[in-house]
Amino acid sequence: MQLVAFYIFAALSVLGAILMVTRKNPLGGAVALVVSLASLAALFAMLHAEFVFILQILLYAGAIMVLIIFTIMLLNLSREELKEPPVGKVKGLFILAATVVGLVGFIRVLRLLPEGTEYVAPTFGNIEKVGTMMLTDYLYPFEIISVLLLVAIVGVVLLAKKII
């Protein structure tokens, strides 16, 4: 049963990713990426990661994708502006071959991993536990991330101004 659910969501996420990479119009690609991210959220839930699941929906499929779609609509690109210079046949095939070889090699290496157990502790993935960890073991990274977000906000405001 779990395996069937896994295959459905895995297929959806790969399909969305492939559509995103191949669509000419970035708006269609963005919608495909939302599908991919949402099915990844389902996989996070299957992995007992409640906190990451909620954040994936809220932050990724919600906030970040809305930002990207807003930008695409704001730019309002015409058909000529979307036209990409064609990639040479040799170059395109080379890129495809390099990607596939990298993928196959990676999967080969992954086979060395132990299979892992089915056992999951009943408290595993508890949001309370994640929060405690974040404010004890990972306190300094947590603070640094908040400084990073502040810097990003200031930078964006500066960039978005017409005259600096």
Partner 1 sequence: MVTIHHYMTLSAILFFIGVFGVLYRRNLIVIFMSIELMLNAVNLSFVTFARYTQSMDGHVVAFFVMALAAAEAAVGLAILVMIFRNRATVQADDLRLMRD
Interface of this chain with partner 1, residues 124 to 143, rule: CB under 8 A = 124-125, 129-130, 133-134, 137-138, 141-142
CA 117 and chain centroid, separation: 27
Of 89, 90, 107, 122, the one binding partner 1 by CB under 8 A: 107
- Side chain identity at 13, as an amino acid letter? S
Instruction: List Cβ neighbours of 17 (8 Å cut-off, separation of 6 or more).
Output: 32, 33, 36
Instruction: List Cβ neighbours of 16 (8 Å cut-off, separation of 6 or more).
Output: 32, 33, 34, 35, 36, 37, 39
- Show the binding pattern over residues 11-50: x = contacts partner 1 (CB under 8 A), - = does not: --xx--xx-xx-x--x--xx--x--xx--x--xx-xxxx-
**How many of the chain's residues bind partner 1 (CB under 8 A)?**
85
- Smallest gap from residue 7 Cβ to partner 1 (A): 9
Task: State which of positions 66-105 bind partner 1 (CB under 8 A).
Answer: 67-68, 71-72, 74-75, 77, 81-82, 84-85, 87, 92, 95-96, 98-100, 102-103
d(CA 50, CA 125): 6
